[in-house]
Structure 1
Amino acid sequence: MGARAVRGAAALVGAAEFAGLAARLRARAQAGGAGGPRGALAYLTPTQVRVAAGEIRTGRSISLAAPVETRPSPDNPDPARHEMTAWHRPEAGASGHGLHFARDRFATNVHGDADTHLDALCHVVYDGTLHGGVPASTVTADGARELTVALARDGIIGRGVLLDLPRLRGVPWLEPGEQVTAGELAAAETAQGVRVREGDLLLVRLGHRRRRAELGPWDPAEGRTGLHPEAMEFVADRRVAVLGCDGNSDAAPSRTEDVAYPVHVLAVHALGVHLLDYLRLEDLAPVCAAEGRWSFFCVVAPLRLPHATGSPVNPIAVL
């Protein structure tokens, strides 16, 4: 998966250490008002949305989503399916006169490793519960009854902040298996002259998309860069409303004993933080660098899916 030596391979996080971290973060979320059904979205108030609108200076908008792919690849073996249901077919005797419609439909695996999507709070089941102690039995074959993506039906709108970790380390991307610590997130803030505040949408660039574009796709289960579990202390300290990444925030292979996706457990289950997975930040990062500012107005609009555990999204940054 690359010739450069892997850095940032942290020591194993033991089961007891992880359980203690999860308990601390859960208690902090409850104390801060994020223990309810909206989770950390409770930190994002209408006042903060109005203030975030002040981030707009040039009016330039940038998509933070990757194009939806319909061809299989190592990281996307079950891609979205696009089917045309009506089109112009002169060979079938269709007349060129009058009104005709082209029609199509899509089917997608929301929680894959390629397409950009939002994880709802019902997505992570841990020790028989969802966020806030909601029983896992509320998720059935018919869909979820609580903590669904419908909690974000009116959109997630606020101040976005981009922290660029390859820029901090002076590399084009972080290699699969590397992990980002809370200290590095704070160091990126300092280097970029920005501060993550309560209610922000924190977006972390790891370089996953650039590596994929230049070296080709790979199976992320074999190796993926992500955040170290203790980096969730930073997320809790700043009362982040939403966490997004150009991977899925979790490193692979996991260095946490008996937990394959520790960041998902800590972010979604303990802190009630919605996750944005597999963003495309390669268009945004150079604009932020050129303008010397790393905060912006951000809009995330999931589909109106009442019983779903997540949704495809096309987040938009407005600078």
Structure 2
Amino acid sequence: MSQQGPPVPFSSLPLSKTHEAAKLNAWGAYGDKDERGFLNRQTDAIVAAAAASEIKTGTRVSLNAALDFQGDRPLFGRQVFEKNVYQKPPRIVHDDTWHFNTQSSSQWDGLRHFGYQQAQRFYNDTTLEDIAGTTERAKSQPNILGVQNLEKHGIVGRGVLIDFARWREGPGKDVPGVSDFKTFERTPIKLEWLKEILKWQGTELKFGDILIIRSGYMPSYYALTDPEVTTLQNMHPPSLGGVEQSEELLKWIWENFSCVAADHPSFEMWPTPLEWSCHEVFLAGWGCPIGELFELEELSRVCEREGRWSFFVTSEAVNVPGGVASPPNALAIF
């Protein structure tokens, strides 16, 4: 694979023709047994170049919401974060235990999370039975597609913030359709807007970048009343604003990035209005991790202060063999 571009052109997808419903898959692009997908794009050379170009002041910004930020009102039927701090007498010592859903706060969706729904396959033609550990393949690849693959080398490189929330309050407010975007309604952030924001910010993309989109979800979530949260909890599925679903969007992601993240819970507009979703193509087709519920408010302020919307990102998933998702433990460094 060239360090300057994807392993094959977008027009060559799908690589595997075994399952017609496995839209635009890139199975085999990094080897038949690969479990890292897009993270193969974060080569040593690309990471070293990102560190050299982006780390200038040493300013560091956390991208992690508190594990309990949703309190006792988590969305999507996920569990409440539980923390038990206890003393160990007679010593003046404490231990604690935590119990939580890995997707109830800032997270990386790992490659076990979401498969092609019609094809019933995960990345690199992996089956439910492979993941359950009941096949011959599972014997040679135990814990296949687990988040330990995100942890092994980390998720590291040049991050680029596309600050949709800031743009829509400024020069984007008069752009047709922008005012129609609603955090808690099925409304799109259009690809043409993302490209326009990059121009407004003066941000140029480099192959292998980590894409991060700020929609303004966190302030909107905190402003919800309890009845409004209850309404969302009772919607199956809830309606959420997010990135548009389109083949043009998929092509743009394929040609530029090594993973994607945002501050909203689904990255893409949800539920998808199409027969396919970005989750299917990103995770099951390409092995592209999806970051969700990242805390981006301070990052936005620092980017504006610094006058640049690119930075170095270091993220270390939790080493849980066979895990589905993980807190990101992510930092942006300027």
Q: Deviations over 1:262-283 (max 9, x none)?
A: 1211211122211111111011
The equivalent residue for 1:270 is 285
Return the letter of the residue paired with 2:215. L
- Pick from 122, 138, 148 the counterpart of residue 112 of structure 2: 122
Residues 222-259 of structure 1: CA deviation (Å, up to 9, x unaligned): 32111112222211121x111001112122233124x5
Q: 1:215: Cα distance to partner?
A: 3.4
Summarize the Cα distance change of 1:43–1:289 in structure 2 as closer, same or farther, 3 Å threshold.
Answer: same
Aligned residue number for residue 60 of structure 2: 61
Unpaired runs of 5+ in structure 2?
A: 1-18
Counterpart selection for 2:242 from 223, 226, 241: 226
Shift of 1:196: 2.3
Match of 2:213 in 1: 204
The SS at the match of 1:152 is helix
Return the alpha-carbon distance in structure 1 between the equivalents of residues 223 and 187 of structure 2.
Answer: 18
What amino acid sits opposite 2:292 in the alignment?
A: D
Of 297, 300, 315, the residue aligned with 2:315 is 300
Name the % identity: 24
Instruction: Work out whether 1:110 is the aligned partner of 2:102.
Output: yes
AA aligned to 2:255 is D
CA distance, structure 1, for counterparts of residue 21 and residue 295 of structure 2: 30
Aligned-partner Cα distance in 2 for 1:244–1:58: 24
Distance of aligned partners of 1:188 and 1:131 in 2 relative to their CA distance in 1, 3 Å threshold: same
Deviation per CA, 1:152-177, whole angstroms, max 9, x where unpaired?
22311111110011223226994132
**Aligned counterpart, 2:262:** 245
2:115–2:283 CA contact under 8 A, matched in 1: no
User: Is the contact between residue 34 and residue 41 of structure 1 (CA under 8 Å) also seen in structure 2?
Assistant: no
Q: Gaps (5+ residues) in structure 1? A: 1-18, 89-93
How do 1:10-21 and structure 2 match up within 5 A? none
Residues 1:20 and 1:287: Cα distance change in structure 2 (over 3 Å): farther
Q: What residue number does 1:9 align with?
A: none
CA–CA distance in 2 between the matches of 1:34 and 1:272? 12
What is the Cα deviation at residue 190 of structure 1? 1.0
Count of residue pairs the alignment pairs up: 283
Task: Give the direction of change, closer, same or farther, for the CA distance of 1:187–1:159 in structure 2 (3 Å limit).
Answer: same
Question: TM (normalized to structure 2)?
Answer: 0.77
CA change 1:124–1:76 in 2 (3 A) is closer
CA shift, 1:298, in A, is 0.4
Q: Distance in 1 between matches of 2:244 and 2:331?
A: 27
Deviation at 1:26, TM superposition (A): 2.1
Residue 331 of structure 2 is aligned with which of 310, 316, 319?
A: 316
| Partner SS, residue 137 of structure 1 | helix
Question: Helix, strand or coil for the counterpart of 1:244?
Answer: strand
> Equivalents in 2 of 1:111, 1:68: separation in Å?
9
Match of 2:73 in 1: 73
TM value normalised by structure 1: 0.80
Amino acid at match of 1:65: N
